[in-house]
Amino acid sequence: MKTTARKIFAPLLRRLESGTEPYNYKPLSRKILLFFGAVFTGLGTLAGSIIPADADPGYYFPVAIFILVGCYGLIIGLLGSDRAVANIWGNK
């Protein structure tokens, strides 16, 4: 199942996993990425659920950004290689 998901999200993963330069990976980095991905997704979902139905559609823009950033972090944290996680954190 993981290989199928990696094929689906290959356009997101390919850019972060490319390269031959050495990288500095710490296992805690993946855990932090997963934690913040879950927090951003949860906060976005919570904020989206409390917006009144008759509110201006502009209120949904930050909600969408939070959810997208959270999902991106979860995808990289769950499916990405060590190089991808290191590249998210700056690879220094």
Give the predicted TM-score (pTM) of the model.
0.86
Write out pLDDT tens, residues 39-65. 999 999 999 999 988 888 888 999 999
Write out pLDDT tens, residues 64-80. 999 999 999 999 999 99
Q: Based on the structure, what is the number of domains in the chain? A: 1
Helix axes 60-79, 27-50, angle to 10 degrees: 150
User: Which residue range forms the structural domain that includes residue 75?
Assistant: 2-88
**What's the pLDDT score for residue 37?**
96
* Residue 17 CB contacts under 8 Å (≥ 6 apart), including other chains: 80, 81, 83, 84, 87
